[in-house]
Chains A and B, each alone.
Chain A
Amino acid sequence: MVDEPKAVHDVPGDFEQVPIVWRYELLKYLRSKRLLASMAIAVVVLSLIYILPPALGTPYSGTDSNRVVSLLSGADVGIGLPGLGDTVQVGLLNRSQIDLDTLVIFVNGTELPSGGMNWTISKITYQGQSAYAVVFLTNVTGKVITASYEWFTSPESFESIFLNFASILVVICATFFGADALVSEFQNRTGYLIFPNPMKRGTLYFGKYAASMTAGIMVMGLFYVGIAILSLISARGIDADFGLSFLFSVEYLMAAMAVAYLISTLLKGTTGATVLTFFLFIMILPIVDSIAIFTGAKFDASLTFAAGVIGYILLDPYPTDWTQSFAGFEFNNFYPAPATAAIVMLAYAAAAIAISLVLFKRKQLAG
C-alpha cells in the first residue's frame, strides 16, 4: 500500500521550523503596529514620569541653600564615636544623594570647614529612609546650623519610581502579544491555512511563543534602556541591582505570556481572551493579593505578588515584612522574597506552557 512519494523537498526538523514561525509572527507584531504601540506606551510613560514630578514642583535634583539642620543626639540615629560615645550631635540632611564636594556647613552663618575636628559625614538609614548624617565633632549646642549643597535623587530611588510601572508594561505586552496568539488561528480561520502543513502544533506554539517573548523583551528592553539613560542623567549612575530587576521583569513576562497563551487556548474569541488577560493581571489577581494581605496571609504563590520583586530588588536593604496596628485593625505589608518570587514565576511559566500546549494540540478546527 505504501507509495513512494516524490522526494522533492525535505521538510525541516521541528527545531528548524521554530525560527521560521518566529520570523513571520514577529512580522505580524511589527506590521500590525502592536509592537509600535507598546513601545510608544513605554516612551510616553518614561516621559511622563520624568517630566511631570519636576513640573509639579518635585524635581529629581537641585540645590539646597542655607537649609536649617535640626540637631539630634547620636543615640537617636544609632551613631557613636570613640571617645564621644553616642552623645555626639548629629544633623540630618534628608536627601537620598548629595554631591559632597558641594556641601558647606554654617554655624550661626559662618562656614564651619570640614575635616579636622569640626564635622564628618556618614550615610545612614533613619526611619526607613536613606539620609546623610553630619556628625559634629565640636559642640554646636544652641547654635543655628545651616547647610548648602547640591543634591540629586539616588539611582535606587529614581529607578524605583519608573519600575512601579514595569509590571503593568509586562501585562500590556502579554495582552498585545499573547492573548490572541493561539485563539486567532481558530477564530480568524487562519488555521485552515497553517495546520494542513507538515509542521507539528508544538512547533507552531513555540515559534509563536518565541515571537511574543521577543516582542515583549524589545518593549521591556526599551523601557529599561530609557530608565538607565535617564538615571545616568538625573541620578548620576545606575543602581547595582538594575540588571537583576530587568531579569525579573523578563521572568515575569515569561510567566504572564504563558498565562496569556493558556487563556488563548481556553477561550473561543480573541476579544474575550484579550480582555480576560488584561483584567486578570490588572484587577483580579491584585484583588486576591489585597484580600490575602488584609487577612494577614502572605500569598507567596501569587504571580502578581511575586512580580513585586521587580521594583523591590533595587531597595537596599531589601524590605522586610511588617505589621502595624491602628484603631483595632492590623495593617500588613508583605514583600516577596527574591528567591521565592523567582521560583513562583518560573513555576507559573512552566505550568501554563505545559497545559496550554496540550490544549492547543488537542484543539480542533471543527467549526
Chain B
Amino acid sequence: MIELQNLTKSFGEIKAVDNLNLKVPTSTTVGFLGPNGAGKTTTIKILTNLITATSGRAYLNGVDVLTDPKKALSHVGAVVETPEFYPYLTPVETLSYLGSIRGMNSKEIARRSNEVLQVVKLEQWRKTRIGKFSKGMKQRMAIAQALLHEPDVLILDEPTTGLDPRGMVEVRETIKSLKKLKYTIFMSSHLLVEVQETCDRAALIDHGRLLVYDSIDNLKGLSKVAKIEVTTVADITDSLLLKIQGMKNVRAVERVNGRTLVLTYEGAYEQRSELLEAVQATGARVAGFSPVGLPLEMMYMDLVKESR
C-alpha cells in the first residue's frame, strides 16, 4: 500500500506538491494524472527517495520513506523518468548488481534476469553493454530492473515514454499482466488512454493539489462536456456554424472539413438529442454523427481548466 499524508514539497516560493493526501490500496493500479508541472514527478521522486519532502509523510507498505528509505524501498520497484544505466555494464550485470543490493542470491538473480529480460524482450541483448542501447531499449531495461525482485509495489513514472507504438502496447500489456498478479501499481502518465486502459483508479493533480481521486468508471461520469462529430449532406456554411455556436449548451464548434464539424457541448444524452434536433431544424441535413474523445480526457480537460 502507498499512502501520502499532507505531503508538501516547496522549491523556494513554489509549492510543487501542496498538502497532498492519497491512498493506493494493496493490489490496486492507480494512474497519476496531471498537466506538466502539476507535481506528479515530484511526488514520485519523494516516494523513491530521489528528493526529500518539505513536510508530510509518504508511506510504502506502512514504512515512511522519508525517515527509513532503505526499509521502505525494500519491496518497491521503480522506474522514474527514463533512467540512465551504467554504460559499461550489460543487462545481466546490471540486474546482478541491483539484485545483489536487494539481497537476491545468484541463482535467483539468474532465474529472474532471464524472466524479466524475456518480458521486456531484451533477452538477445543480455550480454551487450547498455551504452549501446537506444532510448526505447533503456526504458524496457528500466522496467526489467523494476520487476527483477518481484516487488509488492511498483512505482512507474511515465513508463511508456520513449517507446515506439509497439513498445507502448507491450509495456501496457506487461502492466496489465502484473495487475492480474495483484501488484500494487502507482503510475504517472500523460497518456489518458493508457491510464484508462490499465488502471483501476486515477488521481488527478494540478498545482500540487489533488483535484479528484476515484475509480475510472466514476471519473468518466464526472465529465460535464462531450463531443460529437456531425456529418451533413451538404457543405457546412459559415452562417450554419454561427447558428450552432449560439445554440443552448454548445461550448464550441469546429469545422473539420466541408461536410463535417465537431461540436463540444455540456450535458448528457438528453442535451445531445436536443442539439441534434436543433441542428436539423436549421435546414442542415444531418447524415450521421458519432461521439468523439475519451470520457477520461474530457474529465481531465474539464477539471484542469477549472483548477486554473
Contact = CB atoms under 8 A, between A and B. Distances in A.
Interface of A: 1-3, 5-6, 8-12, 17, 20-21, 24, 27-28, 31-32, 188-193, 195-200, 364-366
Given A196-B73, A365-B51, A9 B83 contact: no
Contacts of B108: 9
A24 B50 contact: no
A24 B86 contact: yes
Given A6-B150, A20-B101, A27-B88, A196 B49 contact: yes
Interface of B: 1, 3, 11, 26, 45, 48-52, 59, 61-63, 69-76, 78, 80-86, 88-89, 93, 97-98, 100-104, 108, 129, 142, 145, 149-150, 152, 155
Contacts, number: 116
A198 B101 contact: yes
B101 A199 contact: yes
A188 B84 contact: yes
6 contacts: A2-B62, A2-B63, A27-B88, A27-B89, A192-B83, A198-B72
Contacts of A9: 74, 102-104, 108, 149
A196 B78 contact: yes
Contact of A32 (B59, B71, B83, B88): B88
B76 A6 contact: no
A191 B59 CA distance: 21
Contacts of B52: 364
A32 B214 CA distance: 50
B147 to A, nearest CB: 13
Nearest to A207: B101
B86 A3 contact: no
B97 A5 contact: no
Contact of A20 (B11, B88, B100): B100
B63 to A, nearest CB: 8
Contacts of B50: 191-192, 195-196, 364-366
Nearest to A16: B103
Contacts of A189: 81-84
Contacts of B93: 24, 27
A198 B74 contact: yes
Nearest to A9: B103
A365 B45 CA distance: 8
Contacts of A2: 61-63
A190 B84 contact: yes
Nearest to B1: A3
Given A32-B88, A192-B82, 20 more contacts: A2-B62, A3-B62, A11-B103, A12-B103, A24-B93, A27-B93, A28-B88, A31-B129, A189-B82, A190-B86, A193-B84, A193-B85, A196-B50, A197-B101, A197-B102, A198-B70, A198-B73, A198-B74, A364-B51, A366-B50
B102 A11 contact: yes
